[in-house]
Amino acid sequence: MNRRHAASLLLASAIALATQSGCDSGAPAAAAQELRRGNGSEPDSLDPQLARMESALTILRDAYEGLVALAPDGSAAPGAAASWSVSEDGRRYTFRLRPGARWSNGEPVVAQDFVFAWRRLVDPATASQYALMLEPVVNAVAIVNGRERPEALGVTAPDDATLIVELDRPAAYFPALLSHPSSFPVHRPTLAARPQDFSRPGVAVTNGAFVPAEWQIGSHIIARRNPHYRDAAQVALAAVRYVHVADPVAELTRFRAGELDVTSSTPPGELARLQQEWPGQLQVTPQLGVHYYGLALDQPPFAESVALRRALALAVDRERLVAQVLRDGEQPAYGWVPPGVAHYAPQAFDWADWPRERQLAEARRLYAEAGYSAGSPLLLELRYGRNPVQERVALAVTAMWRDVLGVHTELRAEDFRVLRQAIDAREVPLFRGSWLGDYNDAYSFLQVLQGGFGINLPRYASAVYDAALAAANAAPAEQRPELLAAAERQLLDDVPLIPLYFVTAKHLVAPRVQGWYGNVMNVTYSRDLKLR
């Protein structure tokens, strides 16, 4: 069995397990329907257009509803929009809002609420990290760059129930993109009256299943069921308590003590022990995320030599990395796009299924071809975020490079912000990075490495790659996957980065929680859960 087929089977098995574990047993619901949900670090903001941290996005997905939501399997599904249609040329989307939708104060949700929120997202004055999420929309990039006014954004509301979006090119992934919280609506009167704290619990007016009501800094946020939510009769929980516990070990301790119903994660490297201790409560689900080492293609030594880049990629023993170093259920990454992406078959290095001995021989041949030897070894500095897991991975991978090729590597751990500033300043040839898909489509990963894209950290530039992406965006749905695959194959041939492993989401879910499903987006809406 080759690695790619094995990964597909693992994905299918994990999703089946997670789905079965969340089935409704028919048991009576608990009297006190308050879910105690571990939520990691304190959120940075509850403003849909400004929030960045995963802990904030989790709350926003419960408190607001965008045009598009996620189905239990992670695919796009109707949210605030009951339906949508697309023009024949793929450049115009028409969304029809659900009739009778209301904000938590009883006022109607109208299409203009989305127009306002989207203009706010791309407005440079907002300074949203996610401003370019709407990049396919007409004039979005020009507005973000200050060349057009927000009112020029290609979105209009001809009536209260209809939103029309004009794109500057076909983008088949556009509906999936709208499941991201940055595109959620905001209540205009509240923002106008209280611009500094309109999104704070106790002030916020939301259109989702829950309304943030209380924030105790350093402890928790409580959100209560929204009686005006479109599907309020089907929401079992009366409230959700999002508990802030940044340390996974401390979070596990609180779960063990019965103080949490769900954890946001598990302690790294503890998977085997947790499987023994909590066999029916540990949920492990492949997630759309990848960890990698980036190679700056505008700096030596990587700018000059694809042979060197390939040699370093070949020398990494990913099977040993995930089994002996990480020990946390991750999958070895032989490509860039993770398994589980909707309507796509991920690609892999052409040597991914070679015997290990052949991989090592090819790595040494390419290393010599690049001009390095035992007498003249490659000298590198690897910079990575200060984190115990990243430290272990760095030590393991650089030891592989040393043992296989003779590479000498100096390790440098630092604060993530400092590292990112240095990367942006073009001071870092070799760095650790990661990417989590913002939406369930291969383009969420492939666009990151498009020439000139703002978060293309390796500064990869390939006319062939960019042309394949452009062709995929313009192609009929049945042709799009192969064009995206052609782009990924080109990327892997050029090796602007070294994929290491794909991410898994791990949660402990108490037996009294019913309805937990998990998916590749690592999103389970609290509105779908109940307590017994």
Do the Cβ atoms of 52 and 126 come closer than 8 Å? no
Helix ranges (H only) for 148-240 are 174-177, 188-193
Count of CB atoms situated within 10 Å of the CB of 366 = 22
DSSP state of 496: S
Angle of the 356-369 helix axis to the 306-315 helix axis, nearest 10: 150
| Amino acid 12: pLDDT | 39
Instruction: Give the H/E segment covering residue 21.
Output: helix 3-21
Question: Where does the chain hold its CATH 3.10.105.10 domain(s)?
Answer: 286-504
Amino acid letter for position 343: H
| Amino acid 23: pLDDT | 36
Long-range pairs for 69-72: beta carbons < 8 A, 24 or more residues apart: 69/179, 69/525, 70/179, 70/440, 70/519, 70/521, 70/523, 70/525, 72/19, 72/517, 72/519, 72/528
Tell which residue, 466, 464, 437, has the closest CA to residue 451.
Answer: 466
Mean pLDDT of successive 10-residue stretches along the chain, which has 532 residues: 39 38 43 91 96 96 99 96 96 98 98 99 96 96 97 99 96 95 98 98 98 97 98 98 96 98 96 94 97 97 96 99 96 98 96 98 99 97 95 98 98 93 94 95 96 89 96 90 98 99 97 96 98 95
| Amino acid 466: pLDDT | 96
Q: Whole-angstrom Cα distance, residue 499 to residue 313?
A: 8
| Amino acid 31: pLDDT | 54
Tokens of 368: 């010599």
> Over the stretch 19-64, which tens digit does the pLDDT of each residue have?
334 433 344 455 579 999 999 999 999 999 999 999 999 999 999 9
Q: Whole-angstrom Cα distance, residue 90 to residue 98?
A: 23
Q: Whole-angstrom Cα distance, residue 32 to residue 420?
A: 45
DSSP state of 321: I
Angle at 26 between CA 21 and CA 27, to 5 degrees: 95
Do the Cβ atoms of 412 and 382 come closer than 8 Å? yes
- Who's near 155: CB < 8 A, 6+ residues apart? 114, 115, 118, 119, 137, 163, 164, 165, 166
Q: Whole-angstrom Cα distance, residue 72 to residue 67?
A: 16
For 222, phi then psi, to 5°, come to -110, 130
Q: Whole-angstrom Cα distance, residue 223 to residue 243?
A: 11
Is the CATH number 3.20.20.70 carried by domain 286-504?
no
Question: Where does the chain hold its CATH 3.90.76.10 domain(s)?
Answer: 3-209+509-531
- By DSSP bridging, strand 379-385 and strand 408-414 are parallel
* Chain-centre distance for alpha carbon 324: 26
Do the Cβ atoms of 144 and 124 come closer than 8 Å? yes
- Who's near 350: CB < 8 A, 6+ residues apart? 492, 493
Instruction: Give the H/E segment covering residue 486.
Output: helix 480-494
The CATH number assigned to the domain with range 3-209+509-531 reads: 3.90.76.10
For 148, phi then psi, to 5°, come to -135, 160
Per DSSP (E only), the strands in 235-323 are 239-243, 282-295
User: For the chain, first and last CA: distance in Å?
Assistant: 42
- What pTM does this model have? 0.89
